[in-house]
Structure 1
Amino acid sequence: MAEYLDGRSLTSGSGSGLPLLVQRTLAKQVALVECLGSGSSGGFGGEVWRGIWHGENVAVKIYFSRDEAAWARETEVYSQLLPSRHDNILGYVGSDMTSRASCTQLWLVTQYHPLGSLFDHLNRSPHPLTHHQTLNICLSIANGLLYLHTEIHGTRGKPAMAHRNLKSKNILVKTNGGCVIADFALAATQDRLTADRVDLRQGTKRYMSPEIIEQTVNVECLESFRRADIYSLGLVMWEVCRRCISNGVALEYAMPYYEWLPSNNQEPSIEEMRKLISLDQRRPPLPNRWHSDPTLAGMGKLMRECWHGKPAARLPILRVKKTLVKLAASDSRVHLPLD
């Protein structure tokens, strides 16, 4: 049991590449306890539950049969990521198909994080973030994205991947204050891009980069999607840093581009986003008071280098990580183990 939860899983040996736990028994071993939410914007139309599996809390993402392709894709991605678990990627337990009330359900079982998504955490927490908490969040997301973007060779290897739907709702907060990246239904590898035509309309429009919105991106090149992830990362860092207290002040939580979009909770259209980020070249504004705080001033500069209109001008994820490490090291309020 412990070895599953800390990730030393085996593959089935059938050559399918799917983990041992894709089998028709996992759902029978999980007792669903409470519904944590149902379908969000950006594609997933199912439900997420907290369940108990062998006495441990797990999260159960339930897809309905119309979303079988997304479930199968996410299962496949997790099985590719599985050989070497990562602290900042959501831990995978297994997948299963089951029938409830004569309806087919496709289950994806993962580790459970009681604090929920980064979006929920930034919204709900009555307390603003300290500089330590802010950099802990940002650095852990960068570490997760660095792992995802990097090809690792050898028996515990993995292909380089792009996430394609990075946003605060797809990042979960751990009890230690760091984060894990989740939701890999749209994740792309170079092999996948070569074999299949990618649908650029999939994803969350608010977080789409200009070249995805404009459909000028090279859809056969993984690097172009990694650069689009960096744009989204810039927006997520902006969401986090707004909640950071500086000179006694922190701003309320806000979604990126909230000033210009008529309804903050609704998903904007492609046309609204095109006008905003391509034609009008808008980006989220950086608060003036950040200028007098070296860490937040550095974060603001980093965001601008992530959400640059030209994909080639955006920083690669390793540069983002190194910049965050430098900012953390030069701020006496931040105490992180910096590798």
Structure 2
Amino acid sequence: MENQFNDFHLTRGMDVAVKIFPCEEYASWKNESQIFADANLKHDSILQFLTAEERHSGLQKEYWLITAYHSQGNLKDYLSRNVLSWRDLQKMAGSLVSGVAHLHSDYTASGSPKIPIAHRDIKSTNILIKNEQECVLCDFGIALRLDPSLTAEDFANSGQVGTARYMAPEVLESRVNLEDLESFKQMDVYSMALVLWEIASRCDVIGEVKSYELPFGSKVRKQPCMEVMRDIVLHGRGRPEIPSNWLAHQGMRFLCDTITECWDHDPEARLTAHCVAERFNLITQIDLLSNSENPPWVR
């Protein structure tokens, strides 16, 4: 699905959002509720969960998820309206990577053990923007707890899911290694790389900033099917273009190298989300240590 949020009625109060699932989407509501119920999921880059409720609307049952509300909307819409500075990019991309790294981690920031989670549908419409121009991950309807006690059969029964545009090559080819829990994280890292490309494409340090478009936007229709994406990503080894002018900026070149390593065709060659988070920390540290109003890669 290109935008899962559009499948549900979304309303809001002054500071909360209510995501309403119809009865036929009960399984998605239940899964998302269970994911959110894990106290160890709490993180600045994960949508704040308040409660889940079953409601009756006439003769119909509805299922509610009540979360924090973010007035800036989702990342896709935000990028279509705004051009980013290098500092904006660092905050947005860094917070996104931090959230994915937390999902994938075996431990919380305080060192408590946690069950890693694979999001399985990372895309710019499943990321919200906080007022601080930071990203928060949302929509965990098809997320998967990577519990070591589960078997390969359990994971196989979870199905091949996600959004075709953002699917990793191994998902498109149905060759995911279900014996290795890292496989699910590697899929997320590929999808995350496409979103990082979207963010980079709207940063003013690259020179002329073109109108926003989704990954592969010029090559496919609005909601491409898996067959089309197989031709581009799997058989053609295609990826979104990284123009040469992006590489003229030192920080952007470092980011583009990271993106390229994250969408590698070989899942095992991809960086982990934790490694990408460390790279963003390095960029920030270099900027801070520069002791200048205009560090080497800040325009």
- With the length of structure 1 as denominator, give the TM-score of the two structures: 0.79
CA 1:281/1:248 → structure 2, altered by over 3 Å: closer, same or farther? Answer: closer
Q: Tell me the CA shift for residue 83 of structure 1.
A: 4.1
- What's the CA shift string for 1:52-106, capped at 9, x where partnerless? 5xxxx101100000010110000000011x2462111100000001112322110
Greater helix content: 2
Name the CA distance, whole Å, in 1 between partners of 2:41 and 2:269. Answer: 31
- Alignment match, 1:224: 183
Q: Does 1:295 align with 2:219?
A: no
Distance verdict in 2 for CA 1:212–1:74, change over 3 Å: same
* 2:93 matched residue in structure 1: 138
2:227 partner SS: helix
The residue aligned with 2:25 is 67
CA gap of 1:197–1:317, structure 2 versus 1, over 3 A, is same
What value does the CA root-mean-square deviation take over the aligned residues? Answer: 2.3
C-alpha contact (below 8 Å) 2:35/2:145 kept by paired residues: no
| Equivalent residue for 1:251, pick from 194, 201, 210 | 210
Question: Aligned pair in 2 of structure 1 residues 184, 193: CA closer, same or farther (>3 Å)?
Answer: farther
| Matches for 1:1-339 after TM superposition, within 5 Å | 41-42=3-4, 45-52=7-14, 57-80=15-38, 82-83=39-40, 85-125=42-82, 128-152=83-107, 157-191=113-147, 194=151, 195-246=154-205, 248-261=207-220, 263=221, 265=222, 267-331=223-287
- Aligned-residue sequence identity (percent) comes to 32
Q: SS at the partner of 1:62?
A: strand
Q: Could you say if the C-alpha distance between residues 159 and 105 of structure 1 is closer, same or farther in structure 2, counting changes exceeding 3 Å?
A: same
Gaps of 5+ in 1: 1-38
Q: CA deviation at 1:251?
A: 2.2
Q: Is the 8 A contact 1:78 1:92 kept in 2?
A: yes
* Segment of structure 1 superposing worse, 288-297 or 247-256: 247-256
TM-score of the pair, normalised by structure 2? 0.89
Q: Alpha-carbon deviations, 1:237-280, whole Å to 9, x = none?
A: 0000000002652222110011211x2x2x21111011100100
Cα separation, partners in 2 of 1:292 and 1:270, compared to 1, 3 Å: same
Per the alignment, do residues 129 and 100 of structure 1 end up closer, same or farther by CA in structure 2, a change over 3 Å counting?
A: same
Q: CA deviation at 1:124?
A: 2.2
Is the contact made by 1:71 and 1:185 (CA closer than 8 Å) also made in structure 2?
yes
Aligned residue type for 1:46: F
Return the alpha-carbon distance in structure 2 between the equivalents of residues 250 and 310 of structure 1.
31
Shift in Å at residue 292 of structure 1? 1.1
Q: Say if 2:10 and 2:18, in contact at 8 Å, map to a contact too.
A: yes
**Corresponding residue SS for 1:246:** helix
| Separation in 2, partners of 1:155, 1:250 | 41
Aligned 8 A contact 1:149 1:162 in 2: yes
Where does the alignment leave 5 or more consecutive residues of structure 2 unmatched? none
Q: Is the 8 A contact 2:189 2:263 kept in 1?
A: yes
